[in-house]
Amino acid sequence: MNAIRCFILLFFIVLMFPCCKKIQEKKIINGTWEVEKVELNHADYNVMETFLAGYKSNSECCSYIVDFRDDGTCSGTYVRNDDTVYSVEGEWNLKEFNLVYVKLDRYVDADLDVNRHSKTYYTLETESNKVAALNITAPAKLEIKRTN
């Protein structure tokens, strides 16, 4: 009888493992992040200064906040001097442990490699980002930090 109980318990554990693994993976990127820098074409220049009116790198005046939600949607909010300049909705999907698809605003539409430098600082990189605002596809690198 004990062997049957052990088998049933083991069976349920095996069934639940993939579900728990996916929940844990989603928690890796899920939540609120501040985009600190966006580079295009491997240039060491923050294009947020070009795309976002009044944005200044490394300044307290401005922030671009992305909220990756549990349901696969995300929002991007540009804030300048404590005022919301604009907010947009998008989508995301953690495809693999180190690969996330993000489509947000007119600047990001790509499968991005996730590089975890710490629990609160990541870089997301791709060689093929669709930038609708410029009607181009170009390499991109985003530096993000967790805010919650």
Fold that domain 2-146 belongs to in CATH: Lipocalin (2.40.128)
What pTM value is reported for the model? 0.81
pLDDT in tens, 40-79: 999 999 999 999 999 999 999 999 999 999 999 999 999 9
HEC states along the chain? Answer: CHHHHHHHHHHHHHHHHHHHHHHHHHHHHCEEEEEEEEEECCCCCCCHHHHCCCCCCCCCCEEEEEEECCCCEEEEEEEECCEEEEEEEEEEEEEECCEEEEEECCCEEEEEEEEECCCCEEEEEEEEEEECCCCEEEEEEEEEEECC
